[in-house]
Amino acid sequence: MSHSIGDIAAAIGAEAVGNTALQVDGAAEPAEARSTDIAIAITAGFLASLDQGNARAALVPAGTDWQGLGLEAAIIAPRGRLAMSGLTRLLDPGPDLPDTCHDTAVIEAGALISDTVGVGAFSYIGAGARIGPGTRIGHHVSVAAGVEIGADCHIHDGVRIGRGCRIGAGSVLHPNVVIGADGFSFVTEAPARVEAARDALGQLDLPDEAPEQDWRKIHSLGGVEIGADVEIGAGSTIDAGTIRATRIGQGTKIDNLVQVGHNVIVGRNCLLCAQSGVAGSARIGDRTVLGGKAGVADNVTIGADVVLGGGSVALSNVPAGRIMLGYPAMRIESHIESYRALRRLPRILDRLRNEQKPVPKRAESD
């Protein structure tokens, strides 16, 4: 489908300049752009590569000399990624999910499924599940008995939704997401060595060998409640709570291969980047961002508006608004200072050692 530059600009709420009637049928990076693509050139680097491709129009930052770059038309994007959101939404053909029920799908008696729900091949919908209008479910999905899924959700292939789970309207679950598996919660009859280790933080003189004993399971009865407009990436897992639901707040976005443990409460509009993990019973405030591979220890409370950097691990509570880095995570200013000091440290220690060698002589001469 083709669009004029003017129409695209209007659709994304941006300003079009030049030959706004120019038609494009796709978007591309500047160096790979055909003459019928709009080039996405929202950074200086991309602007510089416009001449390697054939674009006649581009999405450019405010203040760009688009004519000087040989373009016939441009869309001015004062906030490039925001314009990208509008542009890619316009060009997206929509989710690759069925809008009718496939013959092979199994829908158990008593499931309440609106006429406008799509269910893909080989999917299984348990008894009494309720699925809101407009929701589209892919292939090989399993939805347990009694699960509630709101309107206009996208549930991609291979997703598993366990007993006692509720998914808010407009949410997106990417392939192979698992919602509502049992929490990882075990206890030994007598205190286990690992408990003593946690209590002691190394102060205690633990015996080197512990008696053999079994782990007894604390069962997960609480399910998972996912708010509206939540997105959860491929392969991520959100465990069921013990006696109340694990909760993900409205508007929160979760990337791929993220783990959210039992009883966790994640606030609204958070970002949990790929491979981050939140251990059992931790709480994450609104708008908080966990970078890729970041970790939050169990029972820890992270305030609102916190940024925990990629690869960092919060082992204790973090007040609202903090930017944290490292292992264990500390304020970013302290981390940068300590890291710089650490890099200088070997040379400084060498110098100290050299200075100390003559010290005895000077002591003698005193």
Q: Residue 305 corresponds to which tokens in the numbers above?
A: 């508006």
User: Considering only CA atoms, which of 271, 269, 266, 276 is closest in space to residue 245?
Assistant: 266
Closest C-alpha to 43, from 54, 59, 66? 59
Residue 145 lies near its own copies (rule: CB under 8 A)? yes
Cα–Cα nearest to 144, from 184, 102, 108: 108
- Residue 217 near its own copies by CB under 8 A: yes
CB of 343 to its own copies, least distance (A): 6
If DSSP codes are grouped into helix, strand and coil, which group holds residue 112? Answer: strand
Separation of alpha carbons 107 and 286, rounded Å: 37
Residues 253-282 that bind its own copies (CB under 8 A): 253, 255-257, 259, 261, 268-269, 271, 273-275, 277, 279
Q: Which stretch binds its own copies (CB under 8 A): 16-24, 70-78, 128-136, 213-221?
A: 213-221
> Is 10 among the residues that bind its own copies (CB under 8 A)?
no
* Selected binder of its own copies within 136, 139, 247, 283 (CB under 8 A): 139
Report H helices in the chain: 5-12, 44-48, 80-91, 193-200, 332-356, 359-365
Indicate whether 338 belongs to the interface with its own copies (CB under 8 A). yes
User: Which of the stretches 48-56, 69-77, 111-119, 314-322 binds its own copies when contact is defined by CB under 8 A?
Assistant: 314-322
- The nearer residue to its own copies, 132 or 138, going by C-beta atoms, is 138
- Residue 163 makes contact with its own copies by CB under 8 A: yes
String of DSSP letters for 235-256:
T-EEEPBSSS-EEE-TT-EE-T
Looking at residues 284 to 303 of the shown chain, list those that interact with its own copies (rule: CB under 8 A).
286-287, 289, 292-293, 295, 297-298
Q: Residue 138 interacts with its own copies (CB under 8 A)?
A: yes
Among the listed residues 11, 48, 62, 187, the single contact to its own copies using CB under 8 A = 187
Query: 163 to each of 91, 198, 238, how far by Cα in Å?
Result: 37, 33, 13
Asked if 114 touches its own copies (CB under 8 A), the answer is no
Nearest approach in angstroms of CB 285 to its own copies is: 10
- Three-state secondary-structure class, residue 32: helix
Q: Is residue 51 a contact point for its own copies (CB under 8 A)?
A: no
DSSP letter string over 113-137?
E-TT-EE-TT-EE-TT-EE-TT-EE
Query: Judged by CB under 8 A, which of 44, 68, 109, 343 binds its own copies?
Result: 343
3 is catalytic: no
- Catalytic choice (3, 154, 174, 262): 262
Given candidates 114, 243, 317, 358, which one binds its own copies under the rule CB under 8 A? 243
Among 8, 17, 27, 226, binds its own copies (CB under 8 A): 27
Rg (alpha carbons) of the chain, rounded to whole number: 28
Structure tokens at 345: 């440290």
Report the catalytic residues: 262
